[in-house]
A and B are shown apart, each in its own frame.
Chain A
Amino acid sequence: QLQLQESGPGLVKPSETLSLTCTVSGGSISSTSSYWGWIRQPPGEWLEWIGNIYYSGSTYYNPSLESRVTISVDTSKNQFSLKLSSVTAADTAVYYCASTIGGYTAFEWWGQGTLVTVSS
């Protein structure tokens, strides 16, 4: 069974860059059948897709966030990462990493999520 675990700072200052890493265990991030994604959920609100990456490095981003988002993969460490620049309080959310099933549109395995608060 695949397991995913997010890690990174829980507090980021406005205008700085949010950086999170997702460590995958129980399977290989180089699997040809999965994409790896980031999804976030502001407190009390709905889910928002941030973007996906394939092990080859191909990326797909939410158009509304694309100018600020970078997702990268490190196959040697079985990890993928998220960077979100120029953050504001609106970026405060629980950030989840996940892996897909049947292409890149459905997320089967999820991390537990990590709360990132943007505040000075």
Chain B
Amino acid sequence: QSALTQPPSASGSPGQSVTISCTGTSSDVGGYSYVSWYQQHPGKAPKLMIYEVIKRPSGVPDRFSGSKSGNTASLTVSGLQAEDEADYYCCSFAGSNNLLFGGGTKLTVL
């Protein structure tokens, strides 16, 4: 069982917005501003989409945004496109030099 809880699936139609949640505790997600999000297509390495809760690496479209409230972090994908269909993983610093990943969410573009 993964340490951070994500819904197993999410879906939306092209052009719509979808939000994926990542729930932890006050010892990880809620305690630090070090939440990151990764996109992973089948058979490929993960790709960093968001880091430090809200920051986007160079080259990531601004359709992807991150936020956090309490012990839950969220990734919002706006203006859904077919190529956004992938697995998404959250990751949080958990103190004591530990990093925790979520169980992943499969995003389907209908």
A residues sitting closer than 8 Å to B (CB atoms) are 39, 46-49, 60-63, 96, 101-103, 105-108, 110-113
Are A106 and B101 interface neighbours, CB within 8 A? no
Establish whether residues A112 and B46, one from each chain, have CB atoms under 8 Å apart when the complex forms.
no
Do A105 and B34 contact each other (CB < 8 Å), given the known contacts A63-B96, A96-B45? yes
What residues on A are CB-neighbors of B92 within 8 Å?
105
Q: Judge whether B51 and A105 touch: CB under 8 Å.
A: yes
Q: How many A-B residue pairs have CB under 8 A?
A: 62
CB distance from B14 to the nearest CB of A (A): 27
* Chain B interface main SS type: strand
Select which of B2, B48, B57, B97 is within 8 A of A60 by beta carbon.
B97
Q: Are B99 and A105 in contact (CB under 8 A)?
A: yes
Q: Report the minimal beta-carbon distance from B107 to chain A, rounded to whole angstroms.
A: 15
Excluding A46-B103, A47-B89, A105-B51, 6 further A-B contacts by CB distance (< 8 Å) are A105-B34, A107-B36, A107-B48, A108-B51, A108-B57, A110-B47
Of A106, A111, A112, most buried by chain B (CB within 10 Å of CB) is A106
- Chain B residues with CB under 8 A of A107: 36, 38, 46, 48
Q: B102 near A: Cβ within 8 Å?
A: yes
Compute how far the CA of A112 lies from the CA of B46 in the bound complex, rounded to whole angstroms: 9
Q: State whether B99 touches A62 (Cβ < 8 A).
A: yes
